[in-house]
Amino acid sequence: MSAAITTRGLVKTFGPTRALDGLDLEVDQGVVHGFLGPNGAGKSTAIRVFLGILRATAGEARILGKDPWHDAVDLHHRLAYVPGDVELWPNLTGGEAIDVLGRLRGGLQDKRRAELIERFDLDPTKKGRTYSKGNRQKVAIIAALSSGADLFLLDEPTAGLDPLMEVVFQDVVRELKSQGKTVLLSSHILAQVERLSDTISIIRRGVIVQSGTLLQMRHLNRTHVEVRTHRPVDDLHTLPGLHDLRREHGAWVFAVDPEHLDATMSHLSGHGIDTLTSNPPTLEELMLRHYGDELSHEHLGEARRA
């Protein structure tokens, strides 16, 4: 199976700003790929390069096997996009805007259009200038999803949607996946990506710092452990690979690196485990490790190897 999106050393600068700084990204066909990163990490820039509306400064990108800058028009027959900030024509109604965008593609699937308007509870008779952010986003989502494209580039598509609509959106994305479509879903909302994505890339300052399946990523990261033992353990701090060790309500609480999990557990069971809760790292923690804490070089290196 060929990849839907491949980039090699993609660089995009805006004057002094390096928005993409050697981006290597690989998204397989038929998957939902979460594209995760904090504000300003370069998600939108990357997606705009994939669309061929920004020209990469250096590096290479192939979208569905084509060059996004030179083959933009061809490519766009098979691709649909929802921008993070949707702006509509103030004097056109939402329904008209959907049709205008559809006609630019050479037509929409009318049944699908009607169904999506219904599901997203959009009033298509209101003028663009009177729509809220969420409603403008719905217009772009409906136009994109009624298009029959193979690849969907969705840039923080639900930032303005209420929780109810977000559920509808998740259902729709799952349907796309079941039809074998590819979805690139950018977000800084972790829960959303976690729930929908097969694979995930984390971008920071224009570089992918981690990439893989959720499982792989969890494996690469620390597990949180809260443990009570029959016999007191007082030598935990001597064990390698333990972090944030502290006592809380008579239990030991710490995080442990994946490669030291086994040894730590053996050590603990030697003292008779009474209760043990362990939590896989959430994406929140993955993010915190990469962006929240002061990053040591060692950690960055570790992440890159991933």
Partner 1 sequence: MSGVLSGSGRLFRLALRRDWVRMLVWVASLGLGTAAIALTFIEIYSTAEAKQAIIVTMASPAGLAFTGPAHYLSDYNDGSILSHQLLGFTAILIGIMSVLFVVRHTRTEEEAGRAELVRANPVGRYAHLASALLLTGVANVALAALLAVLLPLTGITALTWTGSLIFGAAHVAVGLTFAGVAAVTAQLTQSSRGANGLGIAAVGGAYLLRASGDAAQSDLSWASPIGWAQQSFPYLENRWWPLALNLLAFVALSALSMALSARRDLGSGMRAPRRGRASATSMLRTPLGLTLRLHRGMLLGFAIGLGLLGMSYGPFLGDIETEFSDISFIDETLTAIGGETLIDAFLTMLMTIIAVVAGVYGVMAVLRARSEETSGRGEQVLGTLQSRTTFLANHVIVAVVGSAAIILLAAALLGVTGQPTVDQPVIGKALVAAVIHIPAMWVLIGVATALVGWAPRATVLAWALLGYAGFVGYLGRFLQLPEWAGRLSPFSWLPGYPAEELTVLPLIVLTLVAAGLIALGIVGFRRRDLDTA
Ligand X SMILES: Nc1ncnc2c1ncn2[C@@H]1O[C@H](COP(=O)(O)OP(=O)(O)O)[C@@H](O)[C@H]1O
Q: Is 40 in the site for Mg ion (CB under 5 A)?
A: no
What stretches of 77-199 show up as alpha helix (H) in DSSP?
A: 94-104, 110-119, 133-145, 163-178, 190-196
Residue nearer to ligand X on the CB measure, 113 or 204: 204
Question: Could you say whether residue 200 binds ligand X (CB under 6 A)?
Answer: no
Q: Which is nearer to ligand X, 45 or 221 (CB)?
A: 45
Find the binder of Mg ion among 44, 137, 147, 158 (CB under 5 A): 44
Q: Which is nearer to partner 1, 83 or 281 (CB)?
A: 83
Contact flag: residue 103 with partner 1 (CB under 8 A)? yes
Indicate whether 53 belongs to the interface with ligand X (CB under 6 A).
Answer: no
State how far the Cα of 69 lies from the Cα of 76, in Å rounded to an integer: 11
Q: Of 13-21, 68-76, 116-124, 158-166, which part binds ligand X (CB under 6 A)?
A: 13-21
- Closest CB 141 distance from partner 1, rounded Å: 12
Q: Which residue, 18, 63, 67, is CA-closest to 204?
A: 18
Distance CA 230, CA 232 (A): 7
Q: Within 10 Å of residue 146's Cβ, how many Cβ atoms?
A: 25
Q: Which of residues 44-83 bind partner 1 (CB under 8 A)?
A: 48, 51, 53-55, 70-74, 76-77, 79-81, 83
Q: Which residue in 58, 65, 100, 213 binds partner 1 (CB under 8 A)?
A: 100
- Residues 15-34, mask of contacts with ligand X (x by CB under 6 A): --x-x---------------
Residue 77 touches which member of partner 1, ligand X, Mg ion, none, C-beta under 5-8 Å by kind = partner 1
Q: Indicate whether 163 belongs to the interface with partner 1 (CB under 8 A).
A: no
Which of the listed partners (ligand X, Mg ion, partner 1, none) does 37 bind, with a CB threshold of 5 to 8 Å by partner kind? ligand X
84 binds Mg ion (CB under 5 A): yes
Angle between helices 110-119 and 94-104 (to 10 degrees): 140
CA distances to 43, 94, 221, 222 from 217, rounded to whole Å, are 20, 41, 6, 10
282: helix, strand or coil:
coil
**Could you tell which of ligand X, Mg ion, partner 1, none binds residue 247, using a CB distance below 5 to 8 A set by kind?**
none
CA angle 181, 186, 192 (to 5 degrees): 85
Name the residue among 114, 164, 113 with its Cα closest to residue 134: 164
Is residue 39 within the footprint of ligand X (CB under 6 A)? yes
Taking CB within 5 to 8 Å according to partner kind, which of Mg ion, partner 1, ligand X, none is near residue 226?
Answer: none
Cβ atoms 143, 171 nearer than 8 A = no
| 19, 12 contact by CB (below 8 A) | yes
Amino acid identity, residue 36? L
- Alpha-carbon span 37 to 206, nearest angstrom: 9
Binding flag, residue 90, partner 1 (CB under 8 A): yes
Q: Which residues are at the interface with partner 1 (CB under 8 A)?
A: 13-16, 48, 51, 53-55, 70-74, 76-77, 79-81, 83, 85-92, 100-101, 103-106, 129-131, 140, 153
